[in-house]
Amino acid sequence: MLRYKEIFTGSQCNNKCLYCLYRRKESPQPDVKSVTSALKQGEEDGVALYGGEPTLRKDLVDIIHTARQNGYRRIKLVTNGQVFSEHQVLHRIVTAGCRLFEIKLWGSHPELHDHLTQSPQSFWQTIQGIENLQRLTLDRFICLRIPLCRQNYNDVINIITTGINLRVHRIILSYQDHNLAFGELIPRIYSGIQVSILNRVWVLTEGLPFCVMQGLEHHISEIYYRHDNAMSLRTYKQHKYCRHCIYQEICPGIISDYLTQFGHGEFRPVKGNKYIQDLRVLNC
């Protein structure tokens, strides 16, 4: 299991995404000394820089250099990828030592994506950024992060197909909207996973409880890693049937606002799974 030390680089962003929690909760921009101090080597051999939008920091290259000097072998940027549409900016970041990129895409077309980011031209900038990354001759890993909400869940297969056509290496389907019922979303998730796997692109989910992912538990990202520094500001809790579920110890639960909105009635405890011991080992 890969572990990343997660470093918050500030809430500054060039988008105003409708579902961004950092936009709603203003926080001061950490100075470079605070960020580099947080980079002191721990048990992790990787670091993930997230925001906001980390690429807007003028000292980002210095931060990446410091991470390298401190012994981190993997440096990941969680980003909207828009600045990568400028070759010089991308070249500086990659040359500094960042080779892992987790890029957010809200829609398969500009009308939907730009509506959710509230930033004109953001779709084409992100697409151009991914294409520029793919043109690099050095090793790099590109993950497409698809935040899921009421406005785009019907487009999820098209967004996945867009990622496949862009030759991304991994896809994350991240649940973002507690007003989107699992009953509506899960059929799209199942179809999207099948499309991705048929095209040999590994796909993971984020923010979905184990009980609604039966048969696809190995696609739940929380089995493989945990967000120790709260990349998500949401709080999770278990529903009233969780105590009877075999996943109680390893499932983070459900966004608490979801239970307030929809209640506990749709959930049922999972009584058995022949792979449960393997899943517990992976989650250790």
Distance CA 267, CA 220 (A): 17
117-156, pLDDT tens digit by residue? 999 999 999 999 999 999 999 899 999 999 999 999 999 9
pLDDT interval class at 274 (50, 70, 90): confident
User: Of 203 and 30, which is predicted with more confidence?
Assistant: 203
CB of 21 closer than 8 Å to CB of 232 = yes
CB distance 15 to 119 below 8 Å: yes
Per-residue model confidence (pLDDT) at position 278: 75
| 61 pLDDT above the threshold of 50 | yes
Separation CA 103–CA 174 (nearest Å): 12
What's the CATH number where 129 sits? Answer: 3.20.20.70
| 11 contacts 23 by C-beta, under 8 angstroms | yes
Could you tell me if residue 149 is inside a domain? Answer: yes
Q: Is residue 177 part of a domain?
A: yes
- Examine residue 197 and state whether it is found in any structural domain, yes or no: yes
pLDDT of residue 37: 86
Flag whether 203 is in a domain.
yes
Q: Are 178 and 255 in contact (CB under 8 A)?
A: yes
- The token duo for 260 is 């307030």
Spatial contact of 90 and 79, defined as CB atoms under 8 Å apart: no
Q: 163 lies in a domain?
A: yes
* Segment holding 15, helix H or strand E: none
- pLDDT tens per residue, range 218-228: 999 988 876 55
Dihedral sign from CA coordinates of 197, 3, 145, 138: negative
Please tell me which residue, 133 or 70, carries the higher pLDDT value. Answer: 133
For residue 71, pLDDT over 80 is answered with: yes
pLDDT confidence of residue 223: 85
Q: At what angle do helices 60-69 and 87-96 cross, to 10 degrees?
A: 20
What share of the chain in percent tops pLDDT 90? 67
User: Is pLDDT at 26 greater than 70 in this prediction?
Assistant: no
The whole-angstrom separation of Cα 165 and Cα 151 is 22
Query: What are φ and ψ of residue 187, in 5° steps?
Result: -60, -35
Per-residue pLDDT for 188 more than 90? yes
Higher pLDDT, 229 or 94: 94
Beta strands in 39-107 (DSSP E): 46-50, 74-79, 100-104
Single-letter amino acid code for the residue at 84: F
Tally of domains in the chain: 1
In a domain, 74, yes or no: yes
* pLDDT above 90 (res 165): yes
Return the pLDDT at 169. Answer: 97
- Give dist(CA 153, CA 77) in Å, integer: 25
In a domain, 270, yes or no: no
Q: What is the mean pLDDT of residues 173-200?
A: 96
**Residue numbers of the domain that contains 176:** 4-232
Q: Is residue 82 part of a domain?
A: yes
Interhelix angle 156-165/182-198, rounded to 10 degrees, is 20
Higher pLDDT, 159 or 238: 159
Distance CA(271)–CA(284), nearest Å, equals 21
* 64 pLDDT more than 70: yes
Angle ∠(91,61,225) on CA atoms, nearest 5 = 95
Average pLDDT of the residues of the chain: 90
pLDDT value, residue 231: 47
